[in-house]
Amino acid sequence: MRVALIQVAYGDDEPMDARIERVAGLVREHGPGHDLVVLPELWAPGGFAYREWADRAQPIDGPIGQVMSAAARDAGVTLHAGSIVEQRESSSVADGDHGLSNTSLVYGPDGELIAAYRKIHRFGFGAGEPRLMDAGEEVVVVDLPLATSPGETVRVGLSTCYDLRFPELYRRQLDDGASVFLVPAAWPAPRVRHWTLLAHARAVENQCVVIACNTAGTHAGTEMGGHSQVVSAKGDALAMAGTGEEVVRVEIDLDETAQWREQFPVLADRRL
Ligand SMILES: NC(=O)CCC(=O)C(=O)O
């Protein structure tokens, strides 16, 4: 499986509309020839731009979704478009809810929406996400089409940034058949060691590939950590970005995961 992670860097001076066009251009430029392109969490509204989130919220089929769907189609790739601040329909907003979710969107090479995942674990310890957004409740595992091998799919589990700290979510995804975990993030620089450590831990303990795309640059006073990474089911770092804007390209041998699970059958020793 050929994958490109686009580690987007941005600051406060780039308007959201300009960034959406710029990132769509990056998908069109770097996507062709890959099976999957992955973008970071909340790259359009700003991962830590809490004050702007309400104004920058959109429904799933809003302007960001439309531009990302077109970019996936033009590039002929499956696109994990990172996440948006989703403005949910009023019919899905219960009393006391904020009506906003941190929602990841995945499009197929035909531009159709394949999956949406609402972040389950909200980051901020009472401020930020828990104060402004509602927690997702659904574990999402989905078969993604491989654009360069028509008819073939790979089963992936979706999660977002802070979710990486909660191993039980990944066990659920494993039990639902996932062999790859996709993790967009806006993970800050001061804790980047946790980011790399946890991605390796999730890969090793579940014998799954981890594809984790972080943000770069500094916005809303928060320096992002970069170091987007792809970790094999054996726990080897197949690719690791630096700290700036970067496109990381990697070819993943999906057969290696099944071979490793057979060779070192640790999952068979679970006691439930
Ligand atoms: N956007 C996030 O979820 C940030 C998570 C984080 O900074 C951490 O877990 O540390």
Burial call 110-140: b when 16+ CB within 10 Å, e when fewer? ebebbbbbbbbbbbeeeebbeebbbebeebb
Query: Which candidate, 125, 43, 120, places its Cα nearest to that of 85?
Result: 43
Domains in the chain: how many in total?
1
Catalytic residue, chosen from 21, 29, 89, 119, is 119
Query: 122 CA distance to ligand 1 centroid (A)?
Result: 9
Rounded CA separation 196/111 (Å): 31
CA 187 to centroid of ligand 1, rounded, Å? 5
Residue type, position 262, single letter: E
Residues 6+ apart with CB under 8 A from 93: 99
Give the mutation target among 123, 164, 224 for probing the ligand 1 site: most ligand atoms within 8 A of CB. Answer: 123
pLDDT of residue 12: 98
User: From the first residue on, what is the mean pLDDT of each consecutive set of 10 residues in the chain (272 residues)?
Assistant: 98 98 98 98 98 97 98 98 95 83 98 98 93 97 93 97 98 98 98 98 98 98 98 98 98 97 97 90
Owning domain of residue 83: 2-269
**Cα–Cα distance for residue pair 67/26, rounded to 1 Å:** 12
In CATH, what number is assigned to the domain containing residue 41?
3.60.110.10
Q: What is the ipTM of this complex?
A: 0.99
- The pTM score is 0.97
- Round to whole Å and give the CA distance between 8 and 246: 7
Residue-level pLDDT at 126 = 83
Helix (H) / strand (E) element for 6: namely strand 2-7
Spatial neighbors of 35 by CB under 8 A, at least 6 apart, are 1, 2, 3, 77, 78, 146, 147, 148, 149, 154
Query: Residues with Cβ within 6 A of ligand 1?
Result: 41, 47, 123, 161-162, 165, 186-188, 191, 194
Find the catalytic residue in 86, 129, 161, 213.
161
